[in-house]
Chain A
């Protein structure tokens, strides 16, 4: 359950990041300002608070979400804030001269993005992206606080019924590790593949 939710939410988060990053490149535009406020809030407030606001707080404006729904929304929004920054760093990490060279050849702005900037941004973006995914997985450990199913939920359940916190939490930790290790390995592999782009 943890995995599926996190995965779906993260996909949405990445989509938010891709849309939001260009906004951060033009911070004074209308869209840019909206994105900046969004990112500041996500990064400036505690995760647990964000989660509670979505699950408990929204009931005050009559939006009642189930634990799973709230969990999904939070994973997406929280991840979206970070993903935006990761993609922004990627775009900015591409040398300015590349934009100039593409422009000088007559490439229209979005073709320049597609053929020149983004392929290079991918290489810049991969290391922080893998960290980001690991972070998302760890963030999901908070979901049990609102009753959403997940590794921590099961662990907590086990602790409440059997009073063996050490073993159960240790098993939870192992479970997270097992999920994270392939991620980091995949990340390292992808980074090697795109090394030619730098």
Chain B
């Protein structure tokens, strides 16, 4: 799953504040092609903000970020230069994003939602975009909803459309910001299935999620964020079943009390702390 040694996303010392409120501190991360990275942690840890920095939906003030050969610096760094619009466009066409609140365009049909990106940004001809949209919808089983408006769809369907919309740009990296957090429990599965399929097909992904069993089964790497920082990183199975830091254990304990994730960990036998 990890081919090649150069990372497609490289984050060094990334920091961000809103006014005087620091929300991200000293974030370091490498993501390799085809890798699935699950970002977990309590609310307010900075997961969403961090994801939005990766495609520069949010600028950041410290550190630097390299996304697919595009270099971005923090605004307060000495070498800072405003990213050129062309750079931002390039990043956003190669990095797709799926939001917690779906954010489908309500005034456009499902199909139009999907074709907007390619036709506007990539100059794809209308016919080709329509074909692409229908193919993507068929992959998620929603081809008969092509002419419907988003508000007629269930949450799970809307999110699957949102995934199609992001995939229409044919990205190399996908960012998922808690894609199932706003869904009714019975709809979560259908969305996770789509994400899982993408992962199996080799898509590089950063996925902020609360779905621990999904993270354990699908992710290669788990990054644990708490209070603005990364507190632990490691192979998914390891971090989720035998975490090394106390912070991670505390978090997982609270979360896993609700979820049925079988694990072989016994807290009392832990050696050492993080």
Contact = CB atoms under 8 A, between A and B. Distances in A.
Contacts of B89: 106, 108
A140 B57 CA distance: 46
Interface string B68-108: 00000000000000000100110011001101010111110
Contacts, number: 63
Contact of B116 (A100, A108, A115): A115
B120 interface: yes
B164 interface: no
A103 B92 contact: yes
A150 B149 CA distance: 47
Given A104-B92, A105-B169, A111 B103 contact: no
B169 A108 contact: no
B156 to A, nearest CB: 18
| Listed residue (B104, B116, B169) with the most chain A CB atoms within 10 angstroms of its CB | B116
B99 A106 contact: no
Interface string B33-56: 000000000000000000010010
Interface residues of A, number: 21
Nearest to A118: B107
Contacts of B99: 97, 100-101, 104
Interface in B107-156: 107, 116-117, 120-122, 149
Nearest to A194: B107
Nearest to A103: B57
A196 interface: yes
Contacts of B121: 105-107
Nearest to A101: B103
Given A120-B107, A196-B107, A105 B92 contact: yes
A197 interface: yes
Given A100-B57, A101-B99, A106 B105 contact: no
A163 interface: no
A116 interface: yes
A119 interface: yes
B170 to A, nearest CB: 12
21 contacts: A95-B103, A101-B97, A101-B99, A101-B103, A104-B57, A104-B96, A104-B99, A105-B116, A105-B165, A105-B169, A106-B92, A106-B121, A107-B116, A107-B117, A107-B120, A107-B121, A108-B85, A115-B116, A116-B105, A119-B107, A120-B107
Interface of A: 95, 97-98, 100-108, 111, 115-116, 119-120, 123, 196-198
Given A105-B166, A108-B85, 9 more contacts: A97-B99, A97-B103, A100-B52, A100-B99, A101-B99, A101-B104, A107-B120, A116-B116, A196-B149
